[in-house]
A and B are shown apart, each in its own frame.
Chain A
């Protein structure tokens, strides 16, 4: 018996309207992602990678078709329900980290936990666990400006995982990093996938980064053009 489906896209279309123009971005997309899969989305600029990521993360709505994540049909949920669903189920990692500059590493990681009913003590425990997991314990009082790019992205990853979400979405997580830092971040993501079983969807232009994923989807002009299953590497081997 196979793994349960984590993400199911059925006949998904997405188009944007700009004045009188209708711009199709995704066309008739069908996709099934199993639980615990590490998916890399590749393709040229304008191919619809980030749009697909946004649909899966519940940040945007499909024009037609169904987007079902963790058993929830996102298209049937209200704005407020999707927002709550994201808080519970999705962790975000951005290319430019998007940490809040006036908050320390600890406070940045704590932000998503402020939406929960956890006590201050439990929040502290969870934040420290997340920071330890990304190798940043001892740097919790540092502000983003006091950290390197790689360290900032680690804080962002800690922030993404601190609520123990079902799904991690990463949009070009290594796009702004040097090779060494990028490798560290990719190893960390791989570790989250293999050790903690997180389903990860990552948009990347970098073939080396994509090689860390268990599956690579190639998009072009809003259509799925290639679906590659990868051999799973143990953590660190690929690097």
Chain B
């Protein structure tokens, strides 16, 4: 501690250089926090879905391929199934916004039985089910767009060759881990309108995927196998999986996203080691004589190494705290999820990830300081002093 003021003064000796090092550490760690938090948020969403006993039935060729609407009724009649619904992604533009929020054509009379974690006033559930052009939207979407029951939601078709004009009949709320920015509307309405404008479309009578609510968790494994076995020899074989697995699959369609993000994180750490190490090496080159003077006065090698490494750690730690803890607080205030069109229902930087970032900054500081420190410690006093004496 008695050397702390000396270390701090040295760290502040070249304010521009230190600020640039701190700035690059801050920016890189903030980026790393975003990427790592994306993974952890995705994990917590997937994990939270375990408790709802839902299965997703999609085409065995992938979720972009159609699943015949008939499957919805067939699966609903299977033993252990509490209910089923279509879940067809519409992907329309709202006020010319290309990715405004997720919109799904669903079985309006069933959807809130299947998604029983959502809270909707019963009269609104009834009003939504009875109005074919009605829709139910999430609370966050309503708040952000200042929408209320009775408002119109015009959607311009993008994937579908038609436009829909919906009327808000219900606003749902639910746990923080669930997407509160979705828009559910009647699948029947979508299918009927599609028949009018494109009677030969392969999207006709396509359920999208089928959401299956099981009566209990015990039946999920049996149903998963049973559903797929039933359609294995049909024209449209299915692939059934838990909602959690489906969610992970959705992320994995980007390839090995986890591995990619982890590699980016490592690349960031290594880049920062080089940046901070270069700054530290430059700082010490300028201080060669001073290091020699300290050693002449009796500062041992170990102490010299400690002083330099602590200085390097101090600089990167400031950057680490600003980048990691700063982004934690920043994303607590700014909800990034609203810009992800439903891909992420929420976004925050968990404390564990933020602390990992601070830990990374400590490691970066140590590794950036160790080589210049060893070099300084090995410096011959006579050679160091010769520079000026």
B-contacting residues of A (Cβ < 8 Å)? 50, 54, 57, 59-60, 79-80, 83-84, 86-88, 92, 94-96, 98, 100-103, 107, 111-112, 114-115, 120, 159, 171-172
In the complex, whether B254 has a CB less than 8 A from a CB of chain A is: no
In the complex, whether B253 has a CB less than 8 A from a CB of chain A is: no
Q: From residue A238, how far is it (CB to closest CB) to chain B in Å?
A: 25
A98 lies within 8 A of B293 (CB): yes
A102 lies within 8 A of B12 (CB): yes
B2 closest partner in A (C-beta): A114
Q: How many positions in chain B have a CB within 8 Å of any CB in the partner chain?
A: 25
Other A-B pairs beyond A84-B300, A100-B6, A114-B3, 4, CB < 8 Å: A80-B301, A87-B299, A107-B6, A172-B389
A98 closest partner in B (C-beta): B293
Q: Which of B13, B289, B297, B389 contacts A86 (CB 8 A)?
A: B297
B297 closest partner in A (C-beta): A112
> CA of A80 to CA of B303 in the docked complex: distance in angstroms?
11
> CA of A86 to CA of B388 in the docked complex: distance in angstroms?
21
Contacts of A57 in B (CB 8 A): 296
B389 lies within 8 A of A50 (CB): yes
A54 lies within 8 A of B382 (CB): yes
B3 lies within 8 A of A86 (CB): no
B10 lies within 8 A of A96 (CB): no
B6 lies within 8 A of A98 (CB): no
In the complex, whether B139 has a CB less than 8 A from a CB of chain A is: no
Contacts of A50 in B (CB 8 A): 389
Q: From residue B218, how far is it (CB to closest CB) to chain A in Å?
A: 69
Q: Which of B2, B3, B298, B388 contacts A83 (CB 8 A)?
A: B298
Q: Which of B2, B298, B300, B385 contacts A112 (CB 8 A)?
A: B298
B5 closest partner in A (C-beta): A107
In the complex, whether B294 has a CB less than 8 A from a CB of chain A is: yes
> CA of A238 to CA of B196 in the docked complex: distance in angstroms?
116
A86 lies within 8 A of B6 (CB): no
Q: Which of A54, A60, A111 contacts B294 (CB 8 A)?
A: A111
**Can you list 16 contacts pairing A with B, beta carbon distance less than 8 Å?**
A59-B296, A59-B385, A80-B301, A86-B298, A87-B297, A95-B388, A96-B389, A100-B9, A100-B290, A102-B10, A102-B12, A102-B13, A111-B294, A112-B298, A114-B2, A114-B6
Q: From residue B374, how far is it (CB to closest CB) to chain A in Å?
A: 15
> CA of A100 to CA of B389 in the docked complex: distance in angstroms?
16
In the complex, whether B381 has a CB less than 8 A from a CB of chain A is: yes
With contacts A50-B389, A171-B389 taken as known, whether A87 is within 8 angstroms of B298 at the C-beta atoms is: yes
Contacts of A60 in B (CB 8 A): 381-382
Q: Which of B256-298 contact A (CB under 8 A)?
A: 289-290, 293-298
> CA of A159 to CA of B297 in the docked complex: distance in angstroms?
9
> CA of A12 to CA of B303 in the docked complex: distance in angstroms?
31
Q: From residue A176, how far is it (CB to closest CB) to chain B in Å?
A: 10
Q: Mark B1-22, 1 if CB is under 8 A from A, else 0.
A: 0110110011011000000000
Contacts of A111 in B (CB 8 A): 6, 294, 297
Contacts of A79 in B (CB 8 A): 301
> CA of A114 to CA of B298 in the docked complex: distance in angstroms?
10
> CA of A103 to CA of B294 in the docked complex: distance in angstroms?
13
Contacts of A86 in B (CB 8 A): 296-298
> CA of A87 to CA of B303 in the docked complex: distance in angstroms?
13
Contacts of A159 in B (CB 8 A): 297
Q: Mark B352-384, 1 if CB is under 8 A from A, else 0.
A: 000000000000000000000000000001100
Contacts of B12 in A (CB 8 A): 102
Q: From residue A196, how far is it (CB to closest CB) to chain B in Å?
A: 19
With contacts A98-B289, A107-B5 taken as known, whether A83 is within 8 angstroms of B300 at the C-beta atoms is: yes
Q: From residue A212, how far is it (CB to closest CB) to chain B in Å?
A: 20
B385 lies within 8 A of A94 (CB): yes
> CA of A120 to CA of B294 in the docked complex: distance in angstroms?
20
B300 lies within 8 A of A94 (CB): no
With contacts A94-B293, A94-B389, A114-B2 taken as known, whether A84 is within 8 angstroms of B382 at the C-beta atoms is: no
A80 lies within 8 A of B300 (CB): yes
Q: From residue B143, how far is it (CB to closest CB) to chain A in Å?
A: 53
With contacts A59-B382, A60-B382 taken as known, whether A95 is within 8 angstroms of B297 at the C-beta atoms is: no
A88 lies within 8 A of B298 (CB): yes
> CA of A169 to CA of B300 in the docked complex: distance in angstroms?
19
Q: From residue A96, how far is it (CB to closest CB) to chain B in Å?
A: 5
B388 lies within 8 A of A92 (CB): no
Contacts of A80 in B (CB 8 A): 300-301
> CA of A54 to CA of B303 in the docked complex: distance in angstroms?
22
B296 lies within 8 A of A92 (CB): yes
B2 lies within 8 A of A59 (CB): no
User: Which one of A57, A100, A171 has the greatest number of beta carbons of chain B within 10 Å?
Assistant: A100
Contacts of A59 in B (CB 8 A): 296, 381-382, 385
> CA of A96 to CA of B289 in the docked complex: distance in angstroms?
11
A169 closest partner in B (C-beta): B296
Q: From residue B308, how far is it (CB to closest CB) to chain A in Å?
A: 14
Contacts of B289 in A (CB 8 A): 98
> CA of A111 to CA of B9 in the docked complex: distance in angstroms?
13
B298 lies within 8 A of A115 (CB): yes
